[in-house]
Amino acid sequence: MLQWARQAYLLINYVIMSPFENAWQQVQSAATIINLDPSLLQRLAQPDHIWQQDLKITLDNGSEQSFPAYRVQYNNWRGPYKGGIRYHPAADLDEVKALALLMSIKCAVGNIPMGGGKGGVVVDPKALSQAELERLSRAYIQAFYQHLGPDKDIPAPDVYTTPEMMAWMADEYGKLVGKPTPAVITGKPIEAGGSEGRGIATAQGGYYILQAWAEKLGLQSLKIAIQGFGNAGLTMAELAHRDGHNIVAVSDSAGTIHNAQGLDISALKEYKKITGQVLGFPGSETIPIEQLFSLPVDILIPAALDNQITASNAASIQAKVILELANGPVSPEADSILAEKKIIVVPDVLANSGGVIVSYLEWKQNLAGEHWSEADVLAQMKTLVLAGLADLSVLSEKYNVTLRRAAFILALQRLQAAAK
């Protein structure tokens, strides 16, 4: 009875805990393990700056509408604030704060000289025309440009924002400051100063880690299940399939398909282009999403939404390794269950860090007025990602903790070393 009551208490606390409280709890746990200076922990407890403004734009029908907007600058001890801008109807300040904190952690784990920031606009972008989205994107820069800059705060794309929107924002910033300043925004199209390799960076960084685990497991051909068949999930599937790994299940927003002998990813990509979904792909069977999570695979890759692996399904997972290509796909309770089952979770702050690392490399190219080849960009990213994996593995063994806890320990150590 007491055990049941304790589990109920923990579940209730998780349900009511905000995204920021969840992220901060991770920081506190890691700080306790390494006896972080309490004064530094106190300084990390809140963002450096929170900027808020309503963005007023004229819609195509001539009416005006306001959209709440945020820019949170969390920590810049290691370098200028860095983080995406998301357009989402459910965006709120607590979420943006949490993501800005996690960007501080991610940049430190990736060992790039940048801090953490994040932006958000409360809007359903699907309800706006292209012209309205351009006006909104330019309005965001008009509202916050004084707080942005290549040596101050460098935004990038995030949920429902695109390279084209970043180009509008960079152009607007240049107009406001009186000169072109491409290094103020990353994730731009190539023709606007973007970097080679940016479109595949998130999946490619995760794939370098997958290759490392294949070597560690002593397997030339991994059995893989992927939740999510958008840009990151599809790219990961293509990379793995190209190298002879066996993709036995994938899912998208419409459903989940499975083939125990492996799916032909090239054919599936073309099928989805035509039909808009993976369901019905010849030679596959439709299965419930929960069955994808419980398949006996070597690597399970959540590459879709957050909070997908929870206390309700973690016990059924049979994968040896979970590679978090999505942000926050594993809940805190699930983390504990997976640790007890000895299932390794490569945390999102490392597994999907290829995106922010290539953003950093884009920033470097813009500052130097250079444009590097994709091979050069990906080689530099690979070095940083694999160095991060090695560092986490060492700390995980040293402190007998999960890779996620090791990531927060590593980030706090690097932030402490850079504290101003």
320 is catalytic: no
Q: How many angstroms separate the CA atoms of 139 and 137, rounded?
A: 5
Active-site option among 82, 97, 106, 118 = 118
- Is the CA virtual torsion 308, 314, 320, 321 positive or negative? positive
Residue reference for tokens 């813009």: 366
Burial classification of residue 25, based on how many CB atoms lie within 10 Å of its CB (0-12 exposed, 13-18 middle, 19 or more buried): middle
Strand, helix or coil for residue 11: helix
Number of residues that make up the chain: 420
Question: What are the C-alpha distances in Å from 343 to residues 105, 205, 317, 352, 403?
Answer: 23, 21, 9, 19, 11
Q: How many CA atoms does the CB half-sphere of 264 hold within 13 Å?
A: 7
Separation of alpha carbons 234 and 229, rounded Å: 5
- Short-list 302, 309, 355, CA closest to 335: 309
**Residues identified as active-site:** 118
